[in-house]
Chain A
Amino acid sequence: SQQGEEDPQALSIQEGENATMNCSYKTSINNLQWYRQNSGRGLVHLILIRSNEREKHSGRLRVTLDTSKKSSSLLITASRAADTASYFCAFVGQTGANNLFFGTGTRLTVIP
């Protein structure tokens, strides 16, 4: 299976704390992306990191990628109640086609 694994499955934190979620995958990748999904809604693209990049920032988001360990992490700093959602890593194989394989997801709850 090309599905990624994420941990933790669920994470509950207080508003203002940082949240870290991890993704591991098995194949060689072209890039890795992170998406957010609010309950009952579609997915929203957050950030893309290429296989030759090690770290990327976007606002309160920080993503790292370690291709030797086939793993990535997403850090959300100074969390807000509105960050409550499921977060999925997604990656594309090296075929060049844009068929995404998603990780199992982390359910984040930020308590006000």
Chain B
Amino acid sequence: DTEVTQTPKHLVMGMTNKKSLKCEQHMGHRAMYWYKQKAKKPPELMFVYSYEKLSINESVPSRFSPECPNSSLLNLHLHALQPEDSALYLCASSQVEQSNQPQHFGDGTRLSIL
């Protein structure tokens, strides 16, 4: 079992739907991350939150909207997605946003856009 919990595990949605992915950690970590991983490819960073504030946005389209309501929770709101957005979405956390901190990953949400 991982210490970072992501829900749902699977999500199928149409291009006009609005849905949210949820990530939770109770390790007291103050940095949280969203990654996108296509099949047989490495993860690609989307967003970084540090102390509940958005720290890095890797030029992600606005149809992806992150939210960090508190230090334990990270959401990714989805709206008007495209078929190419189908992927595994991984959440991770680290103690703080410093480069010597290993990241702890959840098992991801597998998203399919119809």
- A residues with a Cβ closer than 8 A to B are 3, 30-31, 33, 35, 40-45, 48, 50, 88, 92-93, 95-105
- B98:A96 contact, CB within 8 angstroms: yes
- B55:A97 contact, CB within 8 angstroms: yes
Give the dominant DSSP class at B's interface: loop
Interface size on B, residues (CB 8 A): 29
Nearest B residue to A102 via CB reads: B42
- B106:A42 contact, CB within 8 angstroms: yes
- A50:B107 contact, CB within 8 angstroms: no
Nearest A residue to B91 via CB reads: A42
List residues of chain B with CB within 8 A of the CB of A93: 99
Assembly CA distance A92 to B106 (angstroms): 20
Interface centre among A40, A88, A98 (most CB of B within 10 A): A98
List residues of chain B with CB within 8 A of the CB of A102: 42-44
List residues of chain A with CB within 8 A of the CB of B45: 99-101
- A98:B4 contact, CB within 8 angstroms: no
- Given A42-B2, A42-B4, A103-B42, verify A98-B48 contact (CB < 8 Å): yes
